[in-house]
Amino acid sequence: MAREPIVHFDGMSIPIKAGQSLAAALTAAGQRTFRETSKGSSRGIFCGMGICQDCLVTVDGAPNQRACMTLAHDGMQVSTQVALAPLMDAPPLDRAPPSRQISPDVLVIGGGIGGLNAAIAAAQAGAQVVLLDERKVPGGQYLKQSAVADEPLDVQQAEGQKLVSAARAAGVEMTGGVEVWGAFDGLLFLAEHQGGALVIRPRKVIVATGAYERPRMTPGWTLPGVMTTGAAQTLWRSYRTLPGKRVAIFGTGPLNIQVALELAQGGAEVAAVGEAASKPTRNIASGIALIKANATLALKGVMMLAGLRHRRIPIHYEANLVGVEQVDGRLAVTYRDSSGTHQTIVDALCMNDGFEPQNEILRLLGAEMAYDQDFGHLRCRRGETMETTVEGLYAVGDCAGLGGAPAAAVEGRIAGRAAAASCRDEALGDISGLHAQLRRHRAFQSALWRMHSPAPRTLTEALDETIVCRCEEVTLGELRQSLTDKPGHAGTMKRATRAGMGRCQGRYCGPVVARLVAEETGQPLRDHSYFAPRVPIKPISIAAILAAQEALDGQI
Amino acid sequence: MGRYDVLVIGGGIVGLTAAIASAGQNARVLIVDAGINAGSNANAGSLHVQLQSRFIRLYPDQAPNVEASLPLYLQAVREWERLDALFGSFDLVRKGGLMLAEGEDQLRFLEMKARREEARGLSVEILDRRQLDALAPWLGPQIMGAELCRDEGKLNPLAANVRLRAEARRLGVEFLSDQVVSLHVDGAVVRAKGQGGQVHAAKQAVVAAAWGSGPLLKGWGPPVPSRAEPLHMNITEPGEVRINHLIQHAERSITLKQFGTGQIVIGGGWAAHDRGNASVPSVLAASMLGNVALAARLVPSISRLRVLRTWAGMNTTVDGKTVIGRLPAAPNIIVAVPGDAGYTLGPLVGRAAAEIAAGQPPSFEIANYGPSRFAA
């Protein structure tokens, strides 16, 4: 009989399932600590989507590999990532896969619901379309596809499967496992694919990079076992792995409710769900607006709440995390709600306190942005066709500012058709029907978020010891201290404190630093208030940059 | 009458060290900085002493001036060590710099250069590959030899800038954010007019505005030909600390060094895109690719590390030589603009500016470095 496939982790044998990520396999085996920081603390899976860079491990000698983005293979040698990886030569270039240069009509970056719809629409309108996604399996965060070849869990996953098939049928060239790390004027994109370089010079580009989750920064939020709600959902929906036996979920918004139910259905014990907003029955007007905008989706929400009630999972409203501590290998979660301060012991704490758009490519290329006070993030200025202020650059879905999955799908269809028509010098035709749909979805979103609390929490009452920059381990106290020097700009505070200088490139601390400085200066937030956008969009190996330089030798 | 004894225009390394030295002697000091942050705040931390091949290649007409200034670079590195001991740590390491040769021609060039530098008092030596292996076994196999300059080093400019700023504050130096657009002298008072019309007055002014100095001094005697050179830089994630030396190349533009954090900074003169004074310069694809690829060929063992960030900053060149001294047309205005490698020379030039302002003999002989040399 064939031996069960395994990976070796620090000398232990860890069983794996075909298609599973390393992060999922290690989590299933109860391993939570993946790397050590230079200050000696431990880190594990946090974002689950390749941005936080905290689940780094060494894989077959290659340091700093993201466990959440690495497919587990039988016999892999995996070890805890030490803070300072040994310097070692990369394999010679002649062994790297060949580099490719492509010039599609339309490049779609991101294979979520917005990107898939955009790619299908553009291909059906006659354009040659290439869609790139960082994950091996397309679908993105909302449609989250299974990577372990199971039947779809529910309608949402089945819908994604259909969309991926439709994209294939429409002739979209889809490549997964691609890291787009460079975006330059004139629409030049540099990417890494399996160690080789991918150089893309599209005529039009549709950015559909979605959003990432805003954490609830609280003492202990960097501990292994604390992760975003989306990371827990990926473990379950994509890899059929529970984040832990007993979990708690805190923050705000509908994703927390949905994932609480999904994890419970998957067999987890959900100890508590904490929502920052007030009980929905106190917000009748928004409830009515929701039903008016989309009765089906409103009903889905009601059913989820009923599902939690049925399973006796308590939702605490007006609930706020106070702190997390490690106790005997588990997590002691302290939170406060209207009835007082409580503590619960769990294996995993999930958090989602709203979303931040992944707008790095848009900002790099100079697309105009404006600050949205209600959501506390930048929104990209777009015309009727979803084209930004940069010619040939379109933005769809949450990367342009939070709008939700149904709106992303419609925006994708509009941008796909418009980009294809523009490539082919054809008239766009009537898109008023799509815009009518978009208005309805936006009305729903707006009512939905009025029931939650999407604006970023102020840190006025947060403790000095709270870590804000998880990469460089910079605390709120250090940032407050630096404010007394009147830095005047987030970049100045970054240079003074190192906040934002780590591997996640300021994705988590950047918005906080920008807000702290804005509060101090009294200046309104705008695009320029944030850290300056810079390549690489994600950390990229020197070997991959060398491969791109060889591929482009002398062409730029 | 202004409240200030010394008005320092420019809060980079020259301005900060000038302010610290002045305030240390009880002068009341105001620093007015435009907040462009592309100079000292974007620096990569090389302490240059030996002649940079880049400079000789790009500005052959200025090379003799740089060569004549070599003793100044030596003195400047010692000034950095003094500040590091007083106000550090700046993560300053002075284990020397290696300029690499990949062919016989390059090695010959380095030998010639080393002889000239030795004559100016630098501690240099040509190493063959075997000797190099003892110091830097991680170099690529094609490296034939190198010039070792023992005087060179590196520091973390972020740490240095933060600590020096804190020291200036501790001494009571005041900071103001404004861009000075013109200078006016009214007897014993210098008035600097800001962008919004605000006037900053003091008994003396130190113009430490790097590439902005030339335009600001327009009309005050022979023009100071300060030039901005937008340059590209890259930094990696941390790795095992093994690279002690500042690495350069005999023919190609590169500096490579490892900080105490384990991060590797790659720079050395690749072009960036100048977007004017209103914003910081931006990064060019060709520079990022070319600069990093060259680093990977010279030091293959960094290939598995990832680049976290790139940025662009301004180097300032004049004529290869520092400009320091009182303006003949307005003796209460002191110009303080280092020649090439301004961050290395900065503290020495800043200190000299403060000494001049206090009527003391400067730390080095400034006779050859005065602003009047630009008279046609």
Q: Tell me the pLDDT tens digit for each residue of A403-455.
A: 999 999 999 999 999 999 999 999 999 999 999 999 999 999 999 888 888 89
Rounded-to-integer distance, Cα B306 and Cα A492, Å: 24
B224-228 own/partner pairs: CB under 8 Å, 24+ apart:
B224/B318, B224/B323, B224/B335, B224/B337, B224/B371, B224/B374, B225/B318, B225/B319, B225/B374, B226/B316, B226/B317, B226/B318, B226/B323, B226/B337, B227/B316, B227/B317, B227/B318, B228/B274, B228/B314, B228/B315, B228/B316
Q: What is the pLDDT of residue A282?
A: 75
Question: Has residue A38 got a pLDDT over 60?
Answer: yes
Which of B236, B257, B307, B311 has the highest number of chain A CBs within 10 A, making it the mutation to test binding with A?
A: B307
Which of B167, B237, B252 has the highest number of chain A CBs within 10 A, making it the mutation to test binding with A?
A: B237
Please tell me the total count of domains within chain B. 2
Q: What is the pLDDT of residue A197?
A: 95
Cβ of A549 within 8 Å of Cβ of B309? The answer is: no
Query: β-pairing, B255-258 with B264-271?
Result: antiparallel
Mean pLDDT in residue range B100-109? 96
pLDDT digits (tens, 9 = 90+) for B219-274: 999 999 999 999 999 999 999 999 999 999 999 999 999 999 999 999 999 999 98
Question: Has residue A1 got a pLDDT over 60?
Answer: no
Q: What is the pLDDT of residue A297?
A: 86
What CATH number did the domain enclosing B117 receive? 3.30.9.10
Cβ of A536 within 8 Å of Cβ of B307? The answer is: yes
Cβ of B303 within 8 Å of Cβ of A546? The answer is: yes
Q: What is the pLDDT of residue B2?
A: 59
Please, which residues bridge with residue A387 across strands?
A394
Residues B183, B141: one domain?
no
Residues B143, B233: one domain?
yes
**Among B179, B160, B143, residue whose Cα is nearest residue B297:** B143
User: Considering B317, B333, B361, which residue would you say is the last residue of a domain?
Assistant: B317
Interface of A with B (CB under 8 A): 38, 62-64, 83-90, 182, 184, 188, 190, 485-486, 488-489, 491-492, 495-496, 498, 501-503, 505, 532, 534-536, 539-543, 545-546, 548-550, 552, 556
Is there a domain that residue B72 lies in?
no
Residues B244, B365: one domain?
no
Q: What is the pLDDT of residue A453?
A: 82
Is there a domain that residue B284 lies in?
yes
Domain hosting residue B149, numbered range:
94-153+227-317
Residues B193, B337: one domain?
yes
Question: Has residue A386 got a pLDDT over 80?
Answer: yes
Could you say which DSSP state residue A393 is in? E
Is there a domain that residue B235 lies in?
yes
Question: Has residue A95 got a pLDDT over 80?
Answer: no
Could you say which DSSP state residue A309 is in? H
Residues B222, B236: one domain?
no
Contact A277, A453 (CB under 8 A): yes
Query: β-pairing, A348-352 with A226-228?
Result: parallel
Residues B166, B310: one domain?
no
Q: How many CB atoms lie within 10 A of CB A553?
A: 10
Q: What is the CA radius of gyration of chain A?
A: 23
Q: How many CB atoms lie within 10 A of CB B316?
A: 24
List CB contacts of A393: < 8 A, sequence separation 6 or more: A187, A204, A205, A207, A362, A365, A367, A387
Q: How confident is the model at residue A349 (pLDDT cuts 50, 70, 90)?
A: very high
What CATH number did the domain enclosing B181 receive? 3.50.50.60
| Share of residues in chain A with pLDDT > 90 (%) | 86
Residues B353, B370: one domain?
yes
Residues B168, B312: one domain?
no
**Among A469, B244, B343, residue whose Cα is nearest residue A478:** A469
Sign of CA dihedral B234, A530, A55, B260: positive
At the topology level, CATH places domain A100-212+356-425 in: FAD/NAD(P)-binding domain (3.50.50)
Mean pLDDT in residue range B195-215? 96
Helical axes B157-170 vs B70-87, angle rounded to 10°: 60
Distance to chain B for A89, nearest Cα, Å: 4
pLDDT digits (tens, 9 = 90+) for A218-230: 999 999 999 999 9
List the structure tokens of A456. 């970023």
Q: What is the pLDDT of residue B1?
A: 47
Is there a domain that residue B62 lies in?
no
Which residue type, as a one-letter code, is found at position A342?
H
Residues B19, B117: one domain?
no
Is there a domain that residue B336 lies in?
yes
Cβ of A87 within 8 Å of Cβ of B305? The answer is: yes
Cβ of A549 within 8 Å of Cβ of B239? The answer is: no
**Among B49, B48, B10, B50, residue whose Cα is nearest residue B30:** B10
Q: What is the pLDDT of residue A555?
A: 80
Q: So where are chain A's domains?
A: 6-88, 100-212+356-425, 215-353, 467-525
List the structure tokens of B211. 């590439």
Side-chain half-sphere exposure of A371, counting CA atoms within 13 A: 16
Cβ of A501 within 8 Å of Cβ of B310? The answer is: no
Q: How far apart are the first and last CA of chain B?
A: 36
Is there a domain that residue B328 lies in?
yes
Which burial class, exposed, middle or buried, applies to A429 when counting CB atoms under 10 A from its CB (0-12, 13-18, 19+)? Answer: exposed
Is there a domain that residue B179 lies in?
yes
Its CATH class, for the domain covering A6-88, is alpha beta
Residues B23, B168: one domain?
yes
Residues B232, B307: one domain?
yes
A100-212+356-425 and A215-353 agree in CATH topology: yes
Cβ of B305 within 8 Å of Cβ of A489? The answer is: no
Contact B250, B280 (CB under 8 A): no
List the structure tokens of B349. 């030039």
Question: Has residue A327 got a pLDDT over 90?
Answer: yes
**A215-353 — its CATH code?**
3.50.50.60
Residue in B303, B310, B311 nearest the CB of A543: B303
Rounded-to-integer distance, Cα A91 and Cα B300, Å: 10
Give me chain A's average pLDDT, please. 94
Mean pLDDT in residue range A226-247? 97
Side-chain half-sphere exposure of A115, counting CA atoms within 13 A: 32
Residues B241, B146: one domain?
yes
pLDDT digits (tens, 9 = 90+) for A251-288: 999 999 999 999 999 999 999 999 999 988 777 888 88
pLDDT digits (tens, 9 = 90+) for B13-58: 999 999 999 999 999 999 999 988 889 999 999 999 999 887 888 8
Rounded-to-integer distance, Cα A104 and Cα A111, Å: 16
Distance to chain B for A528, nearest Cα, Å: 10
pLDDT digits (tens, 9 = 90+) for A146-165: 888 778 888 899 999 999 99
List CB contacts of B364: < 8 A, sequence separation 6 or more: B72, B75, B348, B352
**Among B245, B216, B248, residue whose Cα is nearest residue B323:** B216
Distance to chain A for B188, nearest Cα, Å: 32
Mean pLDDT in residue range A459-479? 96
Per-residue H/E/C for chain B = CCCEEEEEECCCHHHHHHHHHHHHCCCCEEEEECCCCCCHHHCCCEECCCCCHHHHHHCCCCHHHHHHCHHHHHHHHHHHHHHHHHHCCCCCECCCEEEEECCHHHHHHHHHHHHHHHHCCCCEEEEEHHHHHHHCCCCCCCCCEEEEECCCEECCHHHHHHHHHHHHHHCCCEEEECCEEEEEEECCEEEEEECCCCEEEEEEEEECCHHHHHHHCCCCCCCCCCEEEEEEEEEECCECCCCCCEEEECCCCCEEEECCCCCEEEEEEEECECCCCCCCCECCHHHHHHHHHHHHHHCHHHCCCEEEEEEEEEEEECCCCCEEEEECCEEEEEEEECCCCHHHHHHHHHHHHHHHHCCCCCCCCCHHHCHHHHCC
Is there a domain that residue B82 lies in?
no
pLDDT digits (tens, 9 = 90+) for B59-69: 888 888 889 99
Give me chain B's average pLDDT, please. 95
